[in-house]
Structures are given as C-alpha cells and as structure tokens.
Structure 1
Amino acid sequence: MSWGTLLSITVLVILMIAYEWPKMKQYSTREKGAFIVLTLFGYVLGVLLIFFPEMPGPTQLVDAVFKPLGKMLE
C-alpha cells in the first residue's frame, strides 16, 4: 500500500511541476527556485509521513521550540 501511495504522490508532483513550469517563464530565477524548494519540501514531508506515520508533525516542532520561550516570558 505504501509503495502505491508513494508512486501516486510522485506522479502528482511531476504533473504539478509539468503544469506550472511553462507558466513561470516570466518569473525570476529566485521565484522558480522557491517553487522547486517548497515543492520538494512538501514531497519529502509526504514521503516521510507515508513510511513513518507516527512521526510528529510541524505543530509539535513549533510547540517544542516556543513552549520554553513562552515560559521564560511569563
């Protein structure tokens, strides 16, 4: 099941890039780079969540970083 999901996510990311990239001709190199980096970040996060579903999400990371800071400010 997880390999089928991985294949589906990969195909969707490839289709998304193939659809959006020709429309990005007028954008700068930095904007294209940001598009690629954010897309790859989402892809990697999706793949990690497929194989490690118990992995903590971004919300737990934000809580872990800012909870001590909030206690210091009280």
Structure 2
Amino acid sequence: MKWAAVLGITFIFVCMALFEWPKLGRGSKKEKIIFLSLSVIGWFLGSMLVFFPNPPGPTELMDGIFKPLGKLLEK
C-alpha cells in the first residue's frame, strides 16, 4: 500500500513537471536545473514521509546538538 502512495507522488511529480516545463522557456537553463532539483528534493521528502511518517523535528535536532554543549558549559 505504501508503494501505491509513492507511485501517486511520482505521478503528481511527472504531471507537474510536464505542465511547468514548457513555461520555463528555452534559454533558462539555470531555472530548469533549479526546478528539477527542488522538485526531486520534494519528491524524495514526500516519499520518505510515506515510509517514516513521524520524523524528528528541527527542535529535537537542536536539542541533540546543544544539550551536550550546555552540560559542558555548566561545569
């Protein structure tokens, strides 16, 4: 069932790319590269959220980084 969700995300990604690609123009190579890279990153993150629905948030990342530093500064 999870693979069906990934296929759905892929279908939406392909439809979006086919719809937007002609609007980017011929001479805008940098825009096309940025569009593809951001789209692929979004597709990857969307696919990962299907398999791992409860990832840690950014505050937990900051806590993991600065908690040992805070303990060092308390001593």
The interval holding the TM-score normalised by the smaller chain is: 0.7 to 0.9
Provide closer, same or farther for how the CA distance between residues 62 and 15 of structure 1 changes in structure 2, counting only shifts above 3 A.
farther
Deviations 1:35-58 (A, max 9, x none): 00100000000111111112224x
Q: What are the residue-to-residue correspondences of 1:5-44 with 2, within 5 Å?
A: 5-26=5-26, 28-44=28-44
Shift of 1:9: 0.3
Gaps of 5+ in 1: none
Q: TM-score, normalised by structure 1?
A: 0.73
Q: Secondary structure at the match of 1:6?
A: helix
Deviation at 1:31, TM superposition (A): 1.0
2:55 matched residue in structure 1: 55
Identity, in percent, stands at 36
- What residue in structure 1 maps to residue 73 of structure 2? none
- The count of residues paired between Structure 1 and Structure 2 equals 66
TM-score, reference length from structure 2: 0.72
| Unaligned residue ranges in structure 2 (runs of 5+) | 71-75
Distance 1:62 1:35 in 2: 30
Corresponding letter in the other structure for 1:48: M
RMSD: 2.5
Aligned to 1:64: 62
